[in-house]
C-alpha cells in the first residue's frame, strides 16, 4: 500500500499539465502545515485558529535570511521551522494556562496581532505592498521559474522541483507525526484530547504536553510557510489571514482528524478547490461582480467543515476505511482513526 502511494506521488507530476502541477505543488506544501495542525488539533484536541500566523512567520524568516542576507536554503528552510517553533513556545505558555475554547480565542487574537505586526514591520515584510520571496537554491539545483532540470531525458521544471522538495519534507513530517502518535507523548496527547482532567490525574503533565504539541505544530507550519512563500514568490501580509487558518482546519477535518493520511487527503481536496471551482462555466468573469470564485471557494470550505463534522466526523480516511471493510468483509481498518466522540447522541439524549 505504502509503496503504491510513493510510486503514485513520484510519477504524478509527469502526468499533469503546468496548471495542474502548480495545484499539486501547493497541495503538497500545504499538507506539511496541515500535518502540523493535525498534531495539535487532531491528536491533542486543542483548537488553534492561529496556524496562518506561524506560516507567515516561517515565510518571512525564509525571505529575510534567504533574500536579504543571502543564506543558503539548507539553512533558511529549517530556520523558518525553528523561528516559528520559538514563537509557538512563547505563545504556548499563554495557551497552557487556558482550557479548551479559550485557546481558540487566544489564537484568534494571535492572527490579528500577527497581521498587525506584518503590516507594520515594513523592513522585514514590505508592509502593505508585500515583498518578494527568494526561490530555493539547493547546491546546484536552482528552483527559480524558467529553470529546467534535465535528468537524462526527463525534464523537471520549477514547479516540479518544488513539488519534489515539498514531497520529501512532507514524507518526513508525516513519518514524524506517525511515529509521534505511537510514542508516550503521542498517546498522552490523545488522552488529553479525550478528557483533560482524566489525563492530568493519570500523571500526564498537561501543560507541558500542550506546549509540545503547539511547538511541533508551529515548526511544521513554519517550514510549510517558507516553501509556500517561496513558491508564490510574492505575498502581501493579508495572505496570512484567518481564512488561511480556516482552510487548514477544513483540510484536516475533511481528511480525517487525528489520522496520518488525513492531512494529505484533506489538502488534496481543500487546496485544489480554488483551481477546480475557477473552471465552473457559470461563474462570471473575474472582477465583473456577482459570485466570484473566491467567495464560492470560501463558502465551500465552510460547508465542507459543517458537512463532514455532521455526516462523517472521521473524514475521507473514515470513508476509505468503511469502503475497504465492506469490500473485504473483514475489519482491516480498525487500527486507525479513533472516533472523536465520548458519548453517543443516544446516551446524551435518550
Q: Which is nearer to other proteins, 53 or 77 (CB)?
A: 53
Query: Is the dihedral angle over the CA atoms 272, 239, 298, 95 positive or is it negative?
Result: positive
State the binding string over 168-187 for other proteins (x if CB under 8 A, else -): --------------------
Which of 67, 82, 119, 208 is in the footprint of other proteins by CB under 8 A?
A: 119
Residues 61 and 72: their CA atoms lie apart, in Å, by 13
Minimal distance in Å, beta carbon 238 to other proteins? 12
Residues 34 and 251: their CA atoms lie apart, in Å, by 7
State the binding string over 242-261 for other proteins (x if CB under 8 A, else -): -x--x--xx--x--------
Report angle CA 230, 178, 62 to the nearest 5 degrees.
Answer: 15
* Three-state secondary structure readout of 258-288: CCCCHHHHHHHHHCCHHHHHHCCCCCCCCCC
User: For other proteins, which stretch binds (CB under 8 A), given 28-36, 69-77, 138-146, 302-310?
Assistant: 302-310
* 342 is an interface residue for other proteins by CB under 8 A: yes
Which of 290, 326, 327, 330 is in the footprint of other proteins by CB under 8 A?
A: 290
Residue 62 to residues 68, 84, 336: CA-CA distances in angstroms?
A: 9, 11, 36
- Whether the Cβ atoms of residue 301 and residue 247 lie closer than 8 Å to each other: yes
Q: Which of residues 83-112 bind other proteins (CB under 8 A)?
A: 94, 97-102, 104-106, 108-110, 112
Residues 348 and 67: their CA atoms lie apart, in Å, by 57
* 205 is an interface residue for other proteins by CB under 8 A: no
Q: How many residues does the chain have?
A: 350
Q: Which is nearer to other proteins, 49 or 77 (CB)?
A: 49
Q: Which is nearer to other proteins, 29 or 49 (CB)?
A: 49
Residues 236 and 97: their CA atoms lie apart, in Å, by 33
Q: Which is nearer to other proteins, 147 or 298 (CB)?
A: 298
User: For other proteins, which stretch binds (CB under 8 A), given 44-52, 164-172, 260-268, 326-334?
Assistant: 44-52
- DSSP lists the bridge partners of residue 148 as 157
User: For other proteins, which stretch binds (CB under 8 A), given 162-170, 213-221, 262-270, 289-297?
Assistant: 289-297
* 124 is an interface residue for other proteins by CB under 8 A: no
* 343 is an interface residue for other proteins by CB under 8 A: yes
User: For other proteins, which stretch binds (CB under 8 A), given 3-11, 56-64, 129-137, 191-199?
Assistant: 191-199
Residues 350 and 346: their CA atoms lie apart, in Å, by 5
User: For other proteins, which stretch binds (CB under 8 A), given 28-36, 68-76, 161-169, 303-311?
Assistant: 303-311
Which of 49, 87, 180, 220 is in the footprint of other proteins by CB under 8 A?
A: 49
Report angle CA 169, 6, 177 to the nearest 5 degrees.
Answer: 45
Which of 90, 113, 276, 280 is in the footprint of other proteins by CB under 8 A?
A: 113
Residue with cell 507541558: 208
Task: Tell me the angle at which helices 206-232 and 184-194 cross, rounded to the nearest 10 degrees.
Answer: 100
Residues 315 and 338: their CA atoms lie apart, in Å, by 12
The helix/strand/coil state of 314 is coil
Report angle CA 303, 307, 310 to the nearest 5 degrees.
Answer: 140
Residues 46 and 38: their CA atoms lie apart, in Å, by 10
Q: Which is nearer to other proteins, 70 or 294 (CB)?
A: 294
Q: How many residues bind other proteins (CB under 8 A)?
A: 60
* 276 is an interface residue for other proteins by CB under 8 A: no
- Enumerate binding residues for other proteins (CB under 8 A): 45, 47, 49, 94, 97-102, 104-106, 108-110, 112-113, 116-117, 119-120, 195, 197-198, 201, 243, 246, 249-250, 253, 289-292, 294-296, 298-299, 301-306, 309-310, 313, 340-350
Amino acid at each position: 500500500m505504502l509503496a503504491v502511494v510513493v510510486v503514485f506521488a513520484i510519477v504524478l507530476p509527469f502526468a499533469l499539465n503546468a496548471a495542474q502541477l502548480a495545484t499539486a505543488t501547493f497541495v503538497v506544501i500545504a499538507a506539511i502545515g496541515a500535518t502540523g495542525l493535525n498534531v495539535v488539533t487532531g491528536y491533542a484536541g486543542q483548537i488553534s485558529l492561529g496556524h496562518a500566523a506561524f506560516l507567515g512567520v516561517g515565510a518571512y524568516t525564509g525571505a529575510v535570511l534567504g533574500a536579504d542576507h543571502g543564506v543558503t536554503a539548507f539553512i533558511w528552510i529549517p530556520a523558518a521551522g525553528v523561528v516559528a517553533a520559538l514563537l509557538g513556545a512563547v505563545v504556548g505558555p499563554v495557551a497552557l494556562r487556558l482550557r479548551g475554547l479559550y485557546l481558540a480565542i487566544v489564537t484568534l487574537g494571535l492572527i490579528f496581532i500577527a497581521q498587525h505586526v506584518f503590516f507594520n514591520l515594513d523592513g522585514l515584510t514590505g508592509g502593505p505592498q508585500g515583498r518578494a520571496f527568494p526561490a530555493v537554491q539547493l547546491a546546484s539545483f536552482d528552483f527559480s521559474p524558467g529553470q529546467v532540470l534535465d535528468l537524462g531525458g526527463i525534464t523537471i521544471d520549477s514547479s516540479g522541483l518544488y513539488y519534489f522538495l515539498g514531497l520529501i519534507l512532507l514524507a518526513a513530517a508525516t513519518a514524524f507525526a506517525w511515529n509521534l502518535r505511537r510514542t508516550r507523548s503521542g498517546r498522552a496527547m490523545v488522552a488529553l484530547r479525550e478528557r483533560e482532567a482524566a489525563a492530568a490525574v493519570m500523571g500526564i503533565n498537561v501543560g507541558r504536553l500542550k506546549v509540545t504539541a503547539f511547538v511541533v505544530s508551529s515548526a511544521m507550519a513554519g517550514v510549510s510557510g517558507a516553501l509556500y512563500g517561496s513558491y508564490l514568490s510574492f505575498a502581501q501580509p493579508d495572505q496570512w489571514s484567518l481564512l488561511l487558518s480556516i482552510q487548514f482546519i477544513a483540510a484536516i477535518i475533511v481528511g480525517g482528524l487525528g489520522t496520518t493520511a488525513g492531512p494529505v487527503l484533506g489538502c488534496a481536496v481543500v487546496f485544489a478547490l480554488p483551481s477546480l471551482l475557477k473552471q465552473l462555466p457559470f461563474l462570471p468573469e473575474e472582477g465583473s461582480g456577482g459570485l466570484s470564485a473566491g467567495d464560492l471557494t470560501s463558502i465551500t470550505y465552510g460547508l465542507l467543515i459543517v458537512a463532514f463534522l455532521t455526516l462523517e466526523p472521521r473524514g475521507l480516511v473514515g470513508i476509505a476505511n468503511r469502503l475497504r471493510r465492506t469490500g473485504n468483509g473483514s475489519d482491516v481498518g480498525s487500527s486507525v482513526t479513533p472516533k472523536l466522540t465520548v458519548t453517543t447522541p443516544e446516551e446524551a439524549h435518550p
